[in-house]
Structure 1
Amino acid sequence: MAIDFSITSSVLSNGRTAYSGQRLNSSEPKFIIGYRTHFQDNYGLFNTTVAADQVYNPEDYKNEHGFWSYFIYPTAMAESKGSFKCLNTYDRAKFTFGFMQFAAHVPNGDFVHFFKKLLQLPNAKDYFPKLVLQNDRIFYKYSNGTLSQLEDDTSTQALMDYLNPTLKDVENQEQICSARFVHWASNDSEHRKIQTETSLNLFKKNMKNYHERFGLHNAPAKVCLMICDIRHQGRGKNDRIAAALNTNGDYEKAYSNLCTIGDTNYKTRITTVKNNIAKLTADGLFSMKYDAGSGEFVSI
């Protein structure tokens, strides 16, 4: 049975407009979908609220994923404070979701992979009854059975438009799709598991690519994570990273150099990542180095 929501908006004392959802035919309480905002000439929603039981916790995934569950944690905290329901719909990606902020504008990108996994869950038809997977592509299914492909190797424009029709306003379709994602993440551990696994697989893949570019065999985890965070956020390019690593094997100096990349505009984020690395290190959870042969981290 499709899950439907009633959606209401209210103006808060600070002048911000909040959009709330409530599941129809249910005793569930209202929940925050997001807050109206604007970015340059764009309008959309953002949701950065954090609830204790809806935050990425590496302890929940360490038995299955080992050190990798800790490795992604500093970036997760910098991206969203670890919120599984972090949302924004106001920039060029048109729809970005999850604690690692998967963005819908990249063909075959993280959001597309994530959404395809979600659409394979048994309750996917309850949240998105008009979307189907066929030949590993996302299609919109019209009432007469006709299918319209929403993404391919070169574009996700149709998928972006389905989730968020325009950046000119916060349309009803945008509110509904946002409500579905926020509610699904808040109420289904399988959704949160897929968010986590997508993030872990992304960083594993990226580490192999970064080793090929930078030669990271035996590099400490904190150096590797800072490289991953720089590229994930996009605050520095490969040539700048390579220059920072050019220290004749002095990884402490390399780490210090990496921490300066983007510090003019992103000092707060870099500090968040550094502080979380330091905390994990103090707890004895980050003293690892990358083994390029296995593609895994091993004890120093």
Structure 2
Amino acid sequence: MAIHFDVVRDGKRFSARPDGRTAFPIAAKVTFRNRRTGVERFGLSNDGSFFGSDEAKRQKYLAADYAEIHPFWADFIEPTAICEGQSFISLNTYDRARFTFGFGQFAAHVPDGDFIRWFRDMLQRPEVVDYFPNLEVRGGRIVKVEDNKVVPLETAQSTEPLQLYLNPTLDDVEDAEVVAAAKLIHWTVNYPEARLLQVQHMVNTARRLMKEADRRLGLDGLGADLCCVVMDVRHQGRAGFSDLQEALNARRPFEALLDVGAVSQPERVRNLKQALQTRRAALRRKKWSRSTGDFV
């Protein structure tokens, strides 16, 4: 039976009460101002004070927890996870993506992107009846079922209907937005299988980005430490292939790669450098193999 979530507002802080039980924190209301247009957007974020909560710390992605299931790949994605907040319940709803979730910050605005692929699989889990009973996957696409009416929420060209379902506007924080976040957080916290699925999709994303980068940059035989930076740049989208190629051709390619996007994303670059300080030695023991599509 579907769980009912009541929204609890306390100033800029939002919590949710499932079926009348103890409320749990969701996120805080934040403001994002577009520097070019001056337009303000409003949404939820738990990257600040809420991210420091005990619950967020308990829900952190740690490579060691998944090393047996995803040998090496669990380590390969950890630096990016750290840069993205490292929490399985990380949430942002204020930017152009309208809704991002998880330790990989899967973004709902990309057709057939990481969020869409992950959410399709979540909707096919048995617990879906407790969280999103009116959503289904039909013909490989997410739809909303209302009585006998089937409403498509995403196509190969657009995810706008799904974005609006999860986050109706960027003008304020609506109850629907809080409830959607509450459902995903509650689901993720209470079902280890949901967390495992998130890990699987982050590994899938990393594999896909590696193969794409190999086709464009020729990474065969390149150390996994360098590949890790390439993957992180492409995952965040802070630079294109031409910038990466220039860095790979530099006299010190690792250092050059780490500086890619430093002007526009200085905090992200600093976090990645810090994460790799203690992890680079282990990563560089493996090299990318084009023939196997894996690290050997």
- TM-score exceeds 0.5: yes
Which of 186, 200, 205 aligns to 1:183? It is 186
Instruction: Provide the residue aligned with 1:70 in structure 2.
Output: 75
Which of 217, 222, 225 aligns to 2:220? It is 217
Instruction: Provide the residue aligned with 2:36 in structure 1.
Output: none
1:131 matches 2:135: yes
- Provide the C-alpha distance between the structure 2 equivalents of 1:23 and 1:60, rounded to a whole number of angstroms: 28
- Consecutive unaligned residues in structure 2, runs of 5 or more: 34-39
Structure 1 residues 223-281: Cα deviation after superposition (integer angstroms, max 9, x where no partner): 1011111111111111111111114xx6xx11111111121232322122122222123
User: Alignment partner of 1:43: what SS?
Assistant: strand
1:285 Cα deviation (Å)? 5.3
User: Alignment partner of 2:68: what SS?
Assistant: helix
- Provide the C-alpha distance between the structure 2 equivalents of 1:285 and 1:221, rounded to a whole number of angstroms: 5
- Provide the C-alpha distance between the structure 2 equivalents of 1:172 and 1:230, rounded to a whole number of angstroms: 34
- Provide the C-alpha distance between the structure 1 equivalents of 2:284 and 2:84, rounded to a whole number of angstroms: 20
User: Alignment partner of 2:25: what SS?
Assistant: strand
TM-score by length of 1: 0.91
Instruction: Provide the residue aligned with 2:271 in structure 1.
Output: 272
User: Alignment partner of 2:124: what SS?
Assistant: coil
- Consecutive unaligned residues in structure 1, runs of 5 or more: 12-16
Q: Tell me the amino acid that sits aligned with residue 138 of structure 2.
A: Q
- Provide the C-alpha distance between the structure 2 equivalents of 1:141 and 1:162, rounded to a whole number of angstroms: 13
- Summarize the alignment of residues 77-116 of structure 1 with structure 2, pairs less than 5 Å apart: 77-80=82-85, 82-116=86-120
TM-score by length of 2: 0.92
- Provide the C-alpha distance between the structure 1 equivalents of 2:234 and 2:221, rounded to a whole number of angstroms: 20
Instruction: Provide the residue aligned with 1:117 in structure 2.
Output: 121
Instruction: Provide the residue aligned with 1:55 in structure 2.
Output: 60
- Provide the C-alpha distance between the structure 1 equivalents of 2:247 and 2:198, rounded to a whole number of angstroms: 31
User: Alignment partner of 2:287: what SS?
Assistant: strand
Instruction: Provide the residue aligned with 2:23 in structure 1.
Output: 30
Q: After the TM superposition, which segments of 4 or more aligned residues of structure 1 sit over 3 Å from their partners?
A: none
- 1:286/1:275 CA distance change after superposition, 3 Å: farther
1:18 matches 2:13: yes
- Provide the C-alpha distance between the structure 1 equivalents of 2:265 and 2:196, rounded to a whole number of angstroms: 29
User: Alignment partner of 1:133: what SS?
Assistant: strand
1:198 Cα deviation (Å)? 0.5
Q: Tell me the amino acid that sits aligned with residue 3 of structure 2.
A: I
User: Alignment partner of 2:84: what SS?
Assistant: helix
Q: Would the aligned equivalents of 1:137 and 1:151 in 2 still touch at CA under 8 Å?
A: yes
Instruction: Provide the residue aligned with 2:149 in structure 1.
Output: 146
Q: Would the aligned equivalents of 1:165 and 1:174 in 2 still touch at CA under 8 Å?
A: yes
- Provide the C-alpha distance between the structure 2 equivalents of 1:262 and 1:205, rounded to a whole number of angstroms: 21
- Provide the C-alpha distance between the structure 2 equivalents of 1:71 and 1:105, rounded to a whole number of angstroms: 25
Instruction: Provide the residue aligned with 2:165 in structure 1.
Output: 162
Q: Tell me the amino acid that sits aligned with residue 268 of structure 1.
A: E
- The alignment's C-alpha RMSD in Å is 1.4
1:132 Cα deviation (Å)? 1.2
Instruction: Give the count of matched residue pairs.
Output: 284
Instruction: Provide the residue aligned with 2:285 in structure 1.
Output: 287
- 1:192/1:276 CA distance change after superposition, 3 Å: same
Identical amino acids, percent of aligned pairs? 38
Q: Would the aligned equivalents of 1:277 and 1:286 in 2 still touch at CA under 8 Å?
A: no
Instruction: Provide the residue aligned with 1:260 in structure 2.
Output: 259
